[in-house]
Amino acid sequence: MSSPVARPHYFTTFELILLTLFSALVVVDKIVLHLPLDLPGHSGITWMAILVVARGLVPKAGALSLVGLLSGLLAAFLGLGDLGAIYTVFSYLASGVGVDLIALFLGGVEPIAAAALAGIVGNVAKMLVKTGMAVLLQIPAGFVALGLLYSFFTNTVAGLLGGLLGWLLLRALRRAGFFLYLAEKR
């Protein structure tokens, strides 16, 4: 009689723990870090850096969508965001899905261009979801019309900087031997 073979899970427990910690870090970043920049989407500088590092450490499709969903739920429970829980969850999820899709399309975030584009798309995806929901929910957002392109531009620049920062952090972690340490843990 053959014993049933357990199907391996897509994410290992260690990876899930890592992704959960990154989700918490995204929320902590949003609460604690306030850059003295008066520009739409500037929080993407640190936010996208965290997402790019997370994707570099757990290089599996769907990893960042999971981080987006978890951080969105966490943020919603903590009352972050101005326009309600659904709005918060979707905007956080959009960032994760955006970075995930770009990493999937470009084969990871190791090359500097891929990391930069992942940051840009993640931050822009968040902005698009926020704007789209404001329109759908008919939130008084008449001022959106004035700044859509400006907001896109600042979100792009912040995402680009975030992607580059994430790439630099990944490189520093690789040089410090963190990837070898992770390989042992997996």
Q: Does 41 bind other proteins (CB under 8 A)?
A: yes
Q: What are phi and psi of 176, to 5 degrees?
A: -80, 0
Q: Which of 2, 6, 8, 38 binds other proteins (CB under 8 A)?
A: 38
Binding mask 46-75 for other proteins (x = CB under 8 A): ------------------------------
Q: Does 99 bind other proteins (CB under 8 A)?
A: no
Close Cβ partners of 25 (under 8 Å, ≥ 6 residues apart):
50
DSSP-assigned letter for residue 42: T
Place of tokens 């994430």: 166
Place of tokens 């400006």: 150
Q: Does 32 bind other proteins (CB under 8 A)?
A: no
Q: Does 144 bind other proteins (CB under 8 A)?
A: yes
What tokens were used for 113? 């261009």
Q: Which of 113, 172, 176, 180 binds other proteins (CB under 8 A)?
A: 113
Closest distance to other proteins from the beta carbon of 43 (Å): 10
What tokens were used for 133? 């929901």
Binding window for other proteins (CB under 8 A); candidates: 6-14, 19-27, 116-124, 178-186? 116-124
For other proteins, the closer CB: 6 or 149: 149
Burial class (CB in 10 A: 0-12, 13-18, 19+), 89: buried
Q: Which of 30, 156, 162, 163 binds other proteins (CB under 8 A)?
A: 156
Closest distance to other proteins from the beta carbon of 146 (Å): 5
For other proteins, the closer CB: 149 or 183: 149
For other proteins, the closer CB: 18 or 102: 102
Give the residues lining the site for other proteins (CB under 8 A): 38-41, 79, 81-85, 102, 105-107, 111, 113-114, 117, 120-121, 124, 127-128, 130-131, 134-135, 138-149, 151-153, 156
